[in-house]
Chains A and B, each alone.
Chain A
Amino acid sequence: DQQVKQNSPSLSVQEGRISILNCDYTNSMFDYFLWYKKYPAEGPTFLISISSIKDKNEDGRFTVFLNKSAKHLSLHIVPSQPGDSAVYFCAASPILEYGNKLVFGAGTILRVKS
């Protein structure tokens, strides 16, 4: 029972274009969402987050959009660069949970072609 789903295992984008990575969740008790990026042979690193009280959060080339009614969030990377090629994990955090019990999606492999 995957509560956080990243339905696209991979995505290929041309350098300079927009990359859009999608994430769907099923649990309405999630109220905080994070994106992590992972390079081969490295651990995930935090990229950007968003609270459910917002519908958009921007950090440089990275913007996360949240559609609570659709239980959907997306990560936009503009413009995409070859160094953005990595696995991107969506993670969700439920309210009223003790500790940091994030629920992760399976990840999307992004390839940015030069």
Chain B
Amino acid sequence: NAGVTQTPKFRILKIGQSMTLQCTQDMNHNYMYWYRQDPGMGLKLIYYSVGAGITDKGEVPNGYNVSRSTTEDFPLRLELAAPSQTSVYFCASSEHEGRREKLFFGSGTQLSVL
């Protein structure tokens, strides 16, 4: 019963490098989300998707890109890494659209940009 799987768990990037954070879910959920959590702050929504081929910006989308070619996968791309992107990143999914829908989270990716 894997749920939401994120890779890698840890990564150190140099300024200007690029990388993709992988996220896959096996619950056949249509809705997927990327959050970041900075120290002392709540989780902030970066991007979300309501189904394959459909994505939209969240609260803090600058510096990131996403794609959703399949129901299962929702990768997050950092093109030119900056120190401000040092954070813990969580991918999540939900069965239905809705403000009251509980989210299922992955275990997170801790990213440091130096």
A interface residue numbers (CB < 8 A to B): 2, 4, 9, 32, 34, 36, 41-46, 49, 51, 89, 91, 93-95, 97, 99-107
Contact = CB atoms under 8 A, between A and B. Distances in A.
A100 B33 contact: yes
B90 A100 contact: no
B56 interface: yes
Given A89-B42, A107-B42, A100 B99 contact: yes
Contact of A51 (B100, B102, B103, B106): B100
Contacts of A49: 100, 102
Contacts of B61: none
B42 A100 contact: no
A66 to B, nearest CB: 14
Contacts, number: 76
A91 B94 CA distance: 15
Contact of B102 (A46, A103, A105): A46
B42 A44 contact: no
Q: Which of B43, B45, B92, B97 has the most CB of A within 10 A?
A: B43
A72 B106 CA distance: 29
A100 B97 contact: yes
Contacts of B105: 36, 43-45
B99 A97 contact: yes
A98 to B, nearest CB: 8
